[in-house]
Amino acid sequence: MRIGVHTSIAGALANAAHRAQAIGCDGFQMFSANPRGWRAAPPSEAGCETFRQVRAGFRLAPVAIHANYLINLASSDPAVRDLSVAAFRAELQRALALGADYVVIHPGSARDGERAPAVRRMVESLAKAADGLHLRGLTLLVENTAGQGAVLGASLEELAELLAGAARVMPAGVCLDTAHLFAAGYAIHTARGLTETVRLMESTVGVKNVRLIHANDSKTAFASHVDRHEHIGKGGIGLDAFRRIVRHPKLRRIPFICETPIDKPNDDRRNLRVLRKLSDLEQACLDCHSEDP
């Protein structure tokens, strides 16, 4: 399985790839600009070329760009929606220039409480943002949410609806965040709950459409609807649950990316190492044999 982390672009875009390789990632996620600002200068062609060369040299895959946090393509406010469309179009353009595989986006919020119109606005805004662009294999990934406030995409059923709409206007899949699933009320921290959740994934979004998994433990309680990430094994989901998740036969071929906190130096390396150890099926077999009578 392929495992990575979200890495920083501080200093230069190519530094994200250098940092990913230095800590032992297979692939990685990054921002392509300030994630909390509406406008960003386009990256230089030289900077993009360097990024592409470094990424290819290290054979890092996949590479995902996480879209700006301010973007709300579902907004009922025309001014906010216009800003969001422009910002997301710029995200797509930067992702194309960098040769990224995926752009991950939060589906937005229905602040007026009307969810069905918000879903339609999100899809219409996607179409406007992508109009005229040749995406050349770049795939949009709609991320599930924890369900705080009026955000869309907390239920797998609604995420499937968003995916179906997005797929009509561009290549699309989903990104599932473990902390968001847990906070939204999916009991992935238990063996039975994980089985039921995967079964529901199959009947809604389709496991084949899950292109990326954000591997995050949760600082908040089960079904809290609050999005707070924690180190792998240190939160409400726990080590045993993550062992089941990364070894699940229908999930282990999907790339896992940690978005865990960095409270002290090398926390990203430690979380990566923990996840890789939990995913080691060969070691699991050795452990099973060592327990045989």
56-95 pLDDT tens trace: 999 999 999 999 999 999 999 999 999 999 999 999 999 9
State yes or no: is 231 an active-site residue.
Answer: no
- Distance (Å, rounded) from C-alpha 142 to C-alpha 258? 17
Say which of 6, 19, 55, 66 is annotated catalytic. 66
State yes or no: is 180 an active-site residue.
Answer: yes
- Position 71 scores a pLDDT of 97
Average pLDDT over residues 36-59: 96
- Distance (Å, rounded) from C-alpha 41 to C-alpha 114? 35
Is pLDDT of 290 > 80? no
Instruction: For residue 111, name the pLDDT band (cuts at 50, 70, 90).
Output: confident
Say which of 26, 101, 143, 161 is annotated catalytic. 143
b/e sequence 69-88, b meaning 16+ C-beta within 10 Å: eebbbbbbeeebbebbbebb
Say which of 6, 94, 189, 229 is annotated catalytic. 229
Statement: 3-290 belongs to CATH 3.20.20.150? yes
Is pLDDT of 287 > 70? no
User: Chain-centre distance of CA 255, in angstroms?
Assistant: 10
- Position 288 scores a pLDDT of 41
- Distance (Å, rounded) from C-alpha 26 to C-alpha 7? 12
> Is residue 129 within 8 Å of residue 108, measured between CB atoms?
no
State yes or no: is 143 an active-site residue.
Answer: yes
For the entire predicted model, the pTM comes to 0.95
Give the least confident one: 10-24, 121-135, 250-264, 268-282: 268-282
Say which of 189, 214, 231, 244 is annotated catalytic. 214
Average pLDDT over residues 191-210: 98
Say which of 91, 101, 227, 268 is annotated catalytic. 227
> Is residue 161 within 8 Å of residue 154, measured between CB atoms?
no
> Is residue 64 within 8 Å of residue 104, measured between CB atoms?
yes
- CA contacts within 13 A on the Cβ side of 29: 28
